[in-house]
């Protein structure tokens, strides 16, 4: 990564239940996460008589308690007017249902993110679990991993309050008013179905969610619901639109520190995946399962949370290679996928 090309105007994150103003009317707060990636950045935008929340944090008691402190303290008792969600992942949509119900307000999201979150937030069916286990079996996972997939069931539903039964749709290119300023919706793909980013030209600010992070690439994975997908192609293509924004845009990411140097970071992200594709191709050799690719590409110890993201990311890279014609996918007598260089 060309770290020298990025600048970080804020040296430290806000304290728990504290706010840092990053632009006029735009405030940064941070919530903890119980993972190795141990935090998420959320954003508050002032509106007349209230607040607009952008992303909500994970649905757990710790996050709820911090929201209570914020509502009673730095938010000065002013009501929430809207809840905007960048994408369906539980650290972003987790408490949207709770906050919307509490304040009687609407959730704003793209259709793809709303429907995905709504579906996963209420799905307790056995065929969901069976499909998860079958997907990881076909990826060549060992029995311990298959048992873990069955035990986790639909873990998403345990990390969110059920998303609201209705929403206001965000669309690519749409201009919405927040806090008396115009914000343009950019839609990214690959990390999630229709990830909303918000750009305010007047402030020179991009709320980037997970689409553009300063030091890590967002997870780009193949998931059991769409095993032959090529999310990496979608992710790389969707990065291109952000080159139209000024290089000195203040990027507000969901993880890490706000930064400037957008174009350099976009280039770094593309190069990172070029390198991962070459490593994946080398690992395919004369034939490798998805689980064998995982072990070749991720040599560090992985906890249960990281394990399934890593399997999905390995499959995303090899599916992209198949789409490019640089690798092929065969199926053995047991239905296990084998990936080979062409």
Q: Quote the pLDDT of residue 2.
A: 56
- pLDDT cut 90: percent of the chain above it: 93
Is 107 a residue whose pLDDT tops 60? yes
Give residue-wise pLDDT tens across range 28-42: 999 999 999 999 999
Q: Quote the pLDDT of residue 299.
A: 82
Instruction: DSSP for 113-134, please give it.
Output: HHHHHHHHHH---HHHHHHHHH
Comparing 181-190, 296-305, 332-341, the range with the smallest average pLDDT is 296-305
Torsion of CA 247, 250, 252, 257, to 10 degrees: 100
pLDDT, mean over the chain = 96
Position with higher pLDDT, 183 vs 3: 183
**29 three-state secondary structure:** strand
Give residue-wise pLDDT tens across range 9-19: 999 999 999 99
**304 three-state secondary structure:** helix
Residue ranges of E strands in 36-138: 39-47, 50-54, 80-84, 107-110
What φ, ψ does residue 249 adopt, rounded to 5°? Answer: -55, 135
Q: Quote the pLDDT of residue 295.
A: 86
Q: Is the Cβ–Cβ distance between 182 and 126 less than 8 Å?
A: no
Q: In which band, very low, low, confident or very high, does the pLDDT at 301 lie, cut at 50, 70 and 90? A: confident
Alpha helices in 153-261, H assignment, sequence order: 231-239
Q: Is the Cβ–Cβ distance between 286 and 339 less than 8 Å?
A: no
- Per-residue pLDDT, averaged over 177-204, amounts to 98
- Kindly report the pTM of this predicted structure: 0.96
Q: Quote the pLDDT of residue 1.
A: 47
Instruction: DSSP for 139-163, please give it.
Output: TT--HHHHHHHHHHSSGGGGSSPPP
Residue holding tokens 């000195």? 248
First to last CA, the chain: 30
DSSP 259: B
Residue holding tokens 């209570």? 68
Cα separation, 314 vs 309, in Å, equals 9
3-state helix, strand, coil split of the chain in percent (to 5) is 40, 25, 40
Give residue-wise pLDDT tens across range 131-186: 999 999 999 999 999 999 999 999 999 999 999 999 999 999 999 999 999 999 99
């Amino acid at each position: 990564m060309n770290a020298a090309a990025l600048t970080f105007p804020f040296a430290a994150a806000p304290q728990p239940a504290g706010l840092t103003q990053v632009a006029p009317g735009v405030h940064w707060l941070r919530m903890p996460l119980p993972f190795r990636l141990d935090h998420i950045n959320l954003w508050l935008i002032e509106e007349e008589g209230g607040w607009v929340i952008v992303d909500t944090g994970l649905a757990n008691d710790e996050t709820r308690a911090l929201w209570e402190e914020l509502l009673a303290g730095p938010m000065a008792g002013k009501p929430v007017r809207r809840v905007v969600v960048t994408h369906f992942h539980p650290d972003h949509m987790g408490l949207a249902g709770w906050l919307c119900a509490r304040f009687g307000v609407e959730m704003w999201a793209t259709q793809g993110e709303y429907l995905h979150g709504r579906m996963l937030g209420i799905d307790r069916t056995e065929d969901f679990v069976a499909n998860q286990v079958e997907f990881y079996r076909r990826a060549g996972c060992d029995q311990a991993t298959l048992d873990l997939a069955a035990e986790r069931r639909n873990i998403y539903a345990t990390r969110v309050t059920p998303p609201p039964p209705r929403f206001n749709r965000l669309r690519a290119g749409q201009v919405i008013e927040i806090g008396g300023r115009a914000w343009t919706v950019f839609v990214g793909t690959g990390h999630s179905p229709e990830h909303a980013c918000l750009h305010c030209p007047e402030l020179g600010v991009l709320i980037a969610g997970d689409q553009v992070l300063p030091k890590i690439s967002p997870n780009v994975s193949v998931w059991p619901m769409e095993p032959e997908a090529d999310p990496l192609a979608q992710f790389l293509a969707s990065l291109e639109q952000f080159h139209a924004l000024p290089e000195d845009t203040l990027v507000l990411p969901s993880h890490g520190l706000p930064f400037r140097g957008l174009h350099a970071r976009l280039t770094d992200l593309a190069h990172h995946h070029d390198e991962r594709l070459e490593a994946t191709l080398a690992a395919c050799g004369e034939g490798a399962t998805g689980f064998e690719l995982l072990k070749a590409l991720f040599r560090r110890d992985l906890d249960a949370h990281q394990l399934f993201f890593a399997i999905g990311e390995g499959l995303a890279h090899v599916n992209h290679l198949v789409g490019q014609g640089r690798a092929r996918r065969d199926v053995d007598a047991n239905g296990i996928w084998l990936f080979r260089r062409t």
